[in-house]
Amino acid sequence: MILIIGPPSVGKTLLLKRLQNNHPTLIKEDVPATISTVGTNLMTVTVLKKTEVTIREMGGAMGPIWHNYYKDSHAVMFMIDMSKHTQVAIACVQLLTMLSHPLTQNVPVLIILNKIDVPNGLTNAESESLFRFDELTKQAPQKITIIETSAKNGNNLDKVAKWIYEQNKNEDISSA
Ligand SMILES: Nc1nc2c(ncn2[C@@H]2O[C@H](COP(=O)(O)OP(=O)(O)O)[C@@H](O)[C@H]2O)c(=O)[nH]1
Ligand SMILES: [Mg+2]
């Protein structure tokens, strides 16, 4: 199972809904409605038209108990809303807390920088000085991948699907 976590309203449910569609980057329909996830939400998505993956979303308000699910997760996605200047500092603390937890030391981590379509979001310089992604990817024990997305417009959702597909392939090999 793959876990997706992050503060409330960063776009976790919308991303999963987009991925449930076979071509998440070809956005034909309007933005699907999402309701704030209370507790946890399990979704099955089919990536690259062939692999079914179960993804567990943990509502942002459940931050204090995210760690209870690390044990059962073979990969973790952490989503950040790059348009919300007032929320990114807490997102940074939550990200670092997750990365330093003993049960995540060996899991691949995907950091999703979402809502890049919103004007006046964090600049690259601002996010780099807050998150220090360069240092993080060098020093953290996890294999960290960073992808900028718009779950609304579909930007880079193909890259997210590919990452999910790769993690599942690796899990099959390691459990074989
Ligand atoms: N502009 C914009 N809005 C987004 C994006 N992703 C999600 N949203 C909106 O943000 C709100 C919260 O999304 P939701 O998926 O419920 O967030 P969650 O709490 O993390 O599951 C909804 O109104 C979404 O339509 C994005 O990339 N760009
Ligand atoms: Mg949600």
pLDDT in tens, 16-70: 999 987 666 666 667 878 877 777 889 999 888 778 999 999 987 888 899 999 9
CB of 112 shorter than 6 A to ligand 1 = no
Global confidence as pTM: 0.93
What letter represents residue 144's amino acid?
Answer: I
Cβ proximity of 106 and 71 under 8 Å: no
Write the single-letter amino acid at 103. Answer: L
Does 114 count as an annotated binding residue?
A: yes
Q: Is 63 in the pocket of ligand 1 (CB under 6 A)?
A: no
168: enclosing H helix or E strand: helix 157-175
Per the annotation, does 24 bind a ligand? no
| Per-residue model confidence (pLDDT) at position 56 | 95
Contact assessment for residue 15 and residue 114, using Cβ atoms and an 8 Å cutoff? yes
Note the pLDDT tens digit of each residue in 108-161.
999 999 999 999 999 999 999 999 999 999 999 999 999 999 999 999 999 999
> Which atom belonging to ligand 1 lies closest to the Cα atom of 6?
20
